[in-house]
Structure 1
Amino acid sequence: MPENKRHHYVPRFYLKHFSPDGKSVSLFNCKLARTIPVASYKAQCYRDYFYGKDQVLEKILAEMEGESATTLGSIIDSETLPTGAQAEQLAVFLMAQHGRTPAAAALVAMIGDKMDAALGELTAGADLAGEIPSFRDVDPLLLSVHLSIKAYRTLADLEARLLMAPPACEFVTSDMPVVFYNQLFAYRPRADAAAPGWLGFQLFFPIAPRLTLMLFDPHVYSVAPNSPNKGLIQLTSPRDVDQLNGLQIASAEENVYFHNRSLDVERLHRLFGKFRAAVPDVDAAAIQDGEKSGLIAVQIGGVRTKLELTFMTIRSRAKKYRTAFQQQRYQPAVVRRPTVAEWRDEHESKEE
């Protein structure tokens, strides 16, 4: 019996959550602007031997999926968030899912090409043959998965909420279901701020037609009070659901998937399709900075939908920080944990 050659980059167990009959799912193809009401969920989001014919990475991810299927099933059934080891395992799954898709691998490959070009510019004329490694020597998919999983601990200081859609509303998902965002730095022309370690980071992941998992930086955002079920926010505005579904429209490589066959996804595409990028936007350049001989500056474009949610606001201190930051000539990465520590020190000194 031949080994499994269909390597799914979005797990089948996950897409089954959006199946009304346990066999099929409805999809909207964003590139063709076409709805397919009934499609086999098992035939979605896969490529033959995508993770290699040696099956090593495929087996690692399959084992992770088995654990994640149990965790996500428990979240859906109980409408409560996991704790302890299950919460940590879920963080690994979220990061792995973000980094294991063809779109993620293509982005890493593009970054590598731009970095190689920038390195070539910095070392032009120097005899460094064989001394500087090339990104072309690295499998971009393996690198994407490795870096993503390695960064799962950056989610540890975030808070989590379950968002429940109002009656008659539902969440859609896509072939890029884990979406990174950052409302605090949404003014930036690039989306590099939507990285897990940045101040103001947000993550959105629909786990069922009525439930979306949200992670967020609690030092930057204030959210609506919880319901009696700790960690659950019952949404009341259909517009919030549209906004969250818009993230899936904008981030999808090709397909958006949904449960209710009569859902008007074409309307969502009309509203949010304009935020879709035709190709990943990456720029890497060699720059001079004072006495330093050279730097590589990398900027990455990504999802930007002018996200506004009625249940989430930016805290006043974060707004003041952003205003001061915008006035700086250079605006480097704002790593969350050192910045939050500085805020705490400042607060304690004022109290003294």
Structure 2
Amino acid sequence: MPANKKHHYVPRFYLRNFAEDGRSVSLYNFRQDLLVKGANLKNQCYRDYFYGKDGVAEAHLGQLEGGLAELLRIVLGTCTLPPPFSELHEGLCVFTLLQYARTAYSADAMDDFADGMWKEILSKDARFNASDLNRVRIVNSDPANLAVSIVLKHYHLIADLAYVLLESPAGCEFVTSDNPVVFYNQLMEFERFGSSTGLVSKGLQIFFPLSPKFLLLFFDCSVYALNDRRSVRLSLSEKRDIDQINALQAAAALENLYFCTPKADIFRVAEMGKGKRRAKKTRITKFQVPDAGACSSQMIGGSREDVRTNLSLSFMRTLKPAKRWREERKLPGMKPVVVPRDQRFVDEHENFLRLSDLGFYKPTEFFKYLRERDGA
């Protein structure tokens, strides 16, 4: 068995950017309502053998982390972002979605989904009664690696999103958490059924704090526009924007918020997010199927619970065509559950996966596929 049993689901190279001395970090714990200063980085965001006792997946993640750490150093060192569809842009997509998928929150959500879905299915089987099902928990054998494997196959699906580096104003700083990548959708926040933050969802936004000074934001540019469209780096001027972005971390965290200095105003951040924290990680929904004949038929679906904080940002606005689309979406009647922002891009990705399975491309060569498709 590998000697290294501490598997960090938020890597230390990332958290170190929020450590004032490079070795320890300040944190706020929601469960105990406790502030801890000088917490050792080695003891943060880990579970024993989280990625398996054989150490194989942990070793693979370690290899990825070397390149991703260098990418993060480049971004923070140059204070800028790479051009679209470049190798470094692809790295940003991998870094962001890998961090989204590899956390304890993500693994727990996978297990909650499996437990809820299977219990709903088995409850229809006369061989199982409710009391028996309630005494067990049905989980995945390897939820963390399952979540990681899914995003590493589909990370290209956020490559069509616009992206910008947000810079905090003087006297303010971004905070992070043990679940730092937050998916959001201002356009679809009115909807309470299912999730509106899938990788291909119309209106998707992704918030990823990189340091106290910089945050990476991906967004659907057919829905939202920045007040300043000219640069990939945007210096924020209003504290309320920082407050609202930091509140996303408080709403999304599993247990801990992490911050660098008192400028984070961590108790205010925690208080802003407390009422928005999700009671459940997933939701299982049942639908009665109409016209099923003599039989009673149900459809069972499930999704993650989205973060919802009534987000409003001064530097980003929703475009008029998207507002009109949203009003039409609110009208009564049957509507598709999933609304892709660009069906053609989704189709291209599915075609790439087929070609990849046939051996024409490696799973990491989606950008190469696009260039060859366009004759570049």
Coarse TM-score class (shorter-chain normalised) = 0.7 to 0.9
Q: 1:219 aligns with which of 219, 222, 238?
A: 222
Letter in 1 for 2:40: S
Structure 1: unaligned runs, 5 residues or longer: 126-134, 342-352
Pair 1:34 & 2:34 matched: yes
Report what 1:158 is aligned to: 161
Q: CA deviation at 1:124?
A: 6.4
* Separation in structure 1 between the aligned mates of residue 227 and residue 184 of structure 2, nearest angstrom: 19
* Separation in structure 2 between the aligned mates of residue 92 and residue 310 of structure 1, nearest angstrom: 29
1:140-151 pair list within 5 angstroms = 140-151=143-154
Q: Could you report, residue by residue, the CA deviation over 1:167-222 in whole angstroms, capped at 9, with x for unpaired residues?
A: 11100000000000000001112561022210000000000111000000000001
* Separation in structure 2 between the aligned mates of residue 204 and residue 190 of structure 1, nearest angstrom: 22
TM value normalised by structure 1: 0.88
* Separation in structure 2 between the aligned mates of residue 67 and residue 188 of structure 1, nearest angstrom: 38
Report what 2:329 is aligned to: 325
TM value normalised by structure 2: 0.82
Q: CA deviation at 1:326?
A: 1.3
* Separation in structure 1 between the aligned mates of residue 18 and residue 161 of structure 2, nearest angstrom: 27
Q: 1:193 aligns with which of 193, 196, 206?
A: 196
Letter in 2 for 1:335: P
Q: Could you report, residue by residue, the CA deviation over 1:71-116 in whole angstroms, capped at 9, with x for unpaired residues?
A: 1111001011124111112211211111111111111111112221
Letter in 2 for 1:236: S
* Separation in structure 2 between the aligned mates of residue 207 and residue 137 of structure 1, nearest angstrom: 31
Report what 1:345 is aligned to: none
Letter in 1 for 2:79: E
Q: 1:191 to 1:98 in 2, by over 3 A?
A: farther
Report what 2:45 is aligned to: 45
Report what 2:20 is aligned to: 20
Q: 2:313 aligns with which of 309, 312, 333?
A: 309
* Separation in structure 1 between the aligned mates of residue 162 and residue 334 of structure 2, nearest angstrom: 30
Report what 1:182 is aligned to: 185
Report what 1:108 is aligned to: 110
Pair 1:167 & 2:151 matched: no
Report what 1:233 is aligned to: 234
Q: Could you report, residue by residue, the CA deviation over 1:40-99 in whole angstroms, capped at 9, with x for unpaired residues?
A: 122100111111111111011111111110111110010111241111122112111111
Could you tell me whether the CA contact under 8 Å between 2:182 and 2:206 is conserved in 1? yes
Report what 2:340 is aligned to: 335
1:49-60 pair list within 5 angstroms = 49-60=49-60
Aligned length in residues: 332
Q: CA deviation at 1:266?
A: 0.7
Other structure's SS at 1:213 match: strand
Pair 1:258 & 2:259 matched: yes
* Separation in structure 2 between the aligned mates of residue 271 and residue 150 of structure 1, nearest angstrom: 35
Could you tell me whether the CA contact under 8 Å between 2:115 and 2:139 is conserved in 1? yes
Report what 2:349 is aligned to: none
Structure 2: unaligned runs, 5 residues or longer: 128-137, 347-376
Q: 1:239 to 1:290 in 2, by over 3 A?
A: farther
